[in-house]
Amino acid sequence: MTNELNPDLAALGHSTDETEFYTPLPEGYVKGRTKYVVVLGTVMSGLGKGIFSSSLAKILKDKGLRVAPIKMEGYLNIDSGTLNPFRHGEVFVLDDGMETDMDLGTYERMLDENLSARNFTTSGQIFTRILERERHGQYLGRDVQMIPHVTGEVKRTLRELATESKADIVFVEVGGTVGDYENGYFIEAVRELAYEEGEDSVCIVALTYIMEPQSLGEQKSKAAQLGMRQVMEAGLQPHIVACRCPSPVTDKVRQKISMFSNVPLRRVFSMHDMPSIYLVPEMLREAGMDREVLTLLGLHERVNQRNEDQARRKWQWFVERLLAPKEKTVNIAVTGKYTSVRDAYASIDKALEHCGAHAHCRVNIQWIDTSQLNARNVADALRGCHAVLCPGGFGSRGAEGKIECVRFARENNIPYLGICLGFQMAVVEFARNVCGLTNANTTEFDAHCPHPVIDVLPEQKKIEGLGGNMRLGGKDVILKPGSRISDLYGAAESVRLRFRHRYEVEPKYIDQLERGGLIFSGHAPHQPIMQMLELPESMHPYFMATQAHPCLTSRPLTPDPLFLGLVKAALVRAYPQQVFSTMTGGKPTTTAGSATTKSAAESRPTKAAASVAL
């Protein structure tokens, strides 16, 4: 049998006593319509496969091609929802509620599109589907084996994504490094896929690491050579090698990698460090990697040059704004409890970076661990900060410190943005210190508190178990007409944001909180679930919070309005005498910040100045 797919076997989708081929194909799959680019890592993890793969996918999407990425993780978890941020970084939530690792956020930001559960799989998902099929007798009595059944399920997953997305290219990122036990069957499945799809259908890209020890003063490629050997021992011949290194890879090193991997020198690329990940797409384009991929996969005829020109102009505008020298700097305190691991707040970091480019200022993030904060030291911790951002989290550790940060920001008119738990802590703080509800709290931290202003979601109270029952994914939020948050979103009646929480404002306290001055400016459709809040301008220049995670949908070309509003409000506080040029409704406007009488806020902006932040 050749490597052409057997149509009878494809229809059966199972191996029998007559054949060992196992090629499950989804209905409607057309061989050759979709090509595959597979990105593997060697030498070590953490090389930036997600950044590389998403950047390469972006420059091919710019050409008018339809691309669909997928991240394949070797761990047995069904998703990333239960992973500790200290160990695995941020949990990124997709619009359909799938909890994934942070690489999916990189893909969404680079490609400027929403992904789904189809774009993420784990060993846990693969094995679960196989065992369900086995229990239903779908393997017709055969003993279920790693080959062909497990690898067959991986191939089915890739082809289902190709069919559903109608992609020209599916980008497959294999987590971990070649040689890991946990991803070995993924790599074997890729080998089988290349065999079955035929020539010009699968492009193998190996991302490797070139060492540059300071003590030696030169680049060393031996580890990379051994990594290439492991790839070839797995039955894969790389078509492209991308060499990660702090500085540009020398021709001598590229020649060594070319010789030891059988990859033409023109397809051995330097992937050295850049000032920003958003420069990587253009670096790959200038190096000619997009042309090589198009040639290897025979896709030149599908390119739309006009589309590429337009996409490059838009991206270049953002990159120039991002890297342009900044005269103004704002200090924004991120008050969390995972601050020792920056990847735990990757989307927040990126959202603020986007806003810095659009507001034309440098955003200096001050990471503050709230587990060490209290009423006595909060002022010292927040000294010099022009805004406070309180992110999400779970568990009581650091919660009282977060509440003290909210209080300090509210009482001193420091711009504040609360996200998820930051929303809940803002409600608790307001209930305690403004509404007089002594010892108000959330039942997550104190099940017997006298005033449970934050409690379990109504629809969850009947569920005994806690696993997997959060409000997850994209939800519509109805905005209060005339509210400041509605203005931020262009006077929209509703906005779609992404959620990941289990607790909400207890409905019986809503009236009392509103009488105290708190405004709930966003709620769930048809339910008394408060999802956004704010203080009126007469009480605070910029005090906003949401149960959602708006950072998850912030994109380089379209920053989230709540984050952008926070950065602009911080600018007003940092430079109250300055004149700012901002973008309002797509048109440039000039507004002056004016000083006011010094109070507890030291320099609270007037109404005119505060409007700059909106």
Quote the tokens at residue 166.
Answer: 């109608």
**54 vs 117: CA distance, rounded Å:** 17
Quote the tokens at residue 32.
Answer: 């050759």
When pLDDT is averaged across residues 379-390 and rounded to a whole number, the result is 96
When pLDDT is averaged across residues 131-149 and rounded to a whole number, the result is 91
Neighbours of 304 (CB within 10 A): 13
Q: Which residues contact 172 (CB under 8 A, 6 or more apart)?
A: 36, 37, 38, 39, 69, 70, 72, 158, 190
Q: What is the pTM of this model?
A: 0.89
pLDDT value of residue 194: 96
pLDDT value of residue 16: 56
Of 31, 41, 32, nearest in space to 7 by CA: 31
List alpha helices for 237-288, DSSP H: 251-261, 280-287
Question: Judging by beta carbons within 10 Å of its beta carbon (0-12, 13-18, 19+), is residue 230 exposed, middle or buried?
Answer: middle
Model confidence at 218: pLDDT above 80: yes
- Mean pLDDT check: name the lowest of 16-30, 310-324, 565-579, 596-610: 596-610
Q: Who wins on pLDDT, 216 or 206?
A: 206
pLDDT value of residue 462: 54
Per-residue confidence at 17, pLDDT binned at 50, 70, 90?
A: low
Say if strands 530-534 and 519-523 run parallel, antiparallel, or are unpaired: antiparallel
pLDDT value of residue 123: 97
pLDDT value of residue 581: 47
Model confidence at 586: pLDDT above 80: no
Task: Give the CA distances from residue 133 to residues 182, 337, 352, in Å, rounded to whole numbers and listed in that order.
Answer: 22, 42, 45
> For residues 14 and 24, is the Cβ–Cβ distance under 8 A?
yes
Model confidence at 613: pLDDT above 70: no
- Mean pLDDT check: name the lowest of 18-32, 56-70, 115-129, 259-273: 18-32
Model confidence at 505: pLDDT above 90: yes
> For residues 35 and 199, is the Cβ–Cβ distance under 8 A?
no
Per-residue confidence at 163, pLDDT binned at 50, 70, 90?
A: very high
> For residues 593 and 575, is the Cβ–Cβ distance under 8 A?
yes
SS3 478: strand
When pLDDT is averaged across residues 487-494 and rounded to a whole number, the result is 95
DSSP state at residue 236: -
Model confidence at 55: pLDDT above 70: yes
Q: Looking at this protein, which amino acid is placed at residue 587?
A: K
pLDDT value of residue 458: 61
pLDDT value of residue 119: 98
**60 vs 303: CA distance, rounded Å:** 9
Per-residue confidence at 526, pLDDT binned at 50, 70, 90?
A: confident
Model confidence at 484: pLDDT above 90: yes
DSSP state at residue 531: E
Domains of the chain: 31-318 (3.40.50.300), 325-613 (3.40.50.880)
Q: For the chain, how big is the Rg over CA atoms in Å?
A: 26
Neighbours of 471 (CB within 10 A): 20
Per-residue confidence at 461, pLDDT binned at 50, 70, 90?
A: low
> For residues 385 and 602, is the Cβ–Cβ distance under 8 A?
no
pLDDT value of residue 72: 97
When pLDDT is averaged across residues 203-221 and rounded to a whole number, the result is 93
For residue 357, how many C-alpha atoms fall within 13 Å in the half-sphere facing its CB? 23
In the chain, pLDDT over 70 holds for what percent of residues?
89
Beta sheet of 543-546, edge-to-edge order: 362-369, 329-336, 387-390, 416-419, 543-546, 530-534, 519-523, 471-479, 494-501
pLDDT value of residue 393: 85
Q: What is the DSSP string of 71-131?
A: EEE-SS-SSSTT--HHHH-PPEE-TTS-EE-THHHHHHHHHTS---GGGEEEHHHHHHHHH
pLDDT value of residue 395: 82
How far, in whole angstroms, is CA 423 from its chain's centroid? 21
Quote the tokens at residue 23.
Answer: 């090629």
What are the tens digits of pLDDT across the range 403-433? 999 999 999 999 999 999 999 999 999 999 9
Model confidence at 184: pLDDT above 90: yes
**147 vs 21: CA distance, rounded Å:** 10
Q: In the predicted model, what is the mean pLDDT of the chain?
A: 89
Per-residue confidence at 89, pLDDT binned at 50, 70, 90?
A: confident
- Mean pLDDT check: name the lowest of 135-149, 303-317, 550-564: 135-149
What are the tens digits of pLDDT across the range 353-373? 999 999 999 999 999 999 989
**263 vs 248: CA distance, rounded Å:** 19
pLDDT value of residue 216: 85
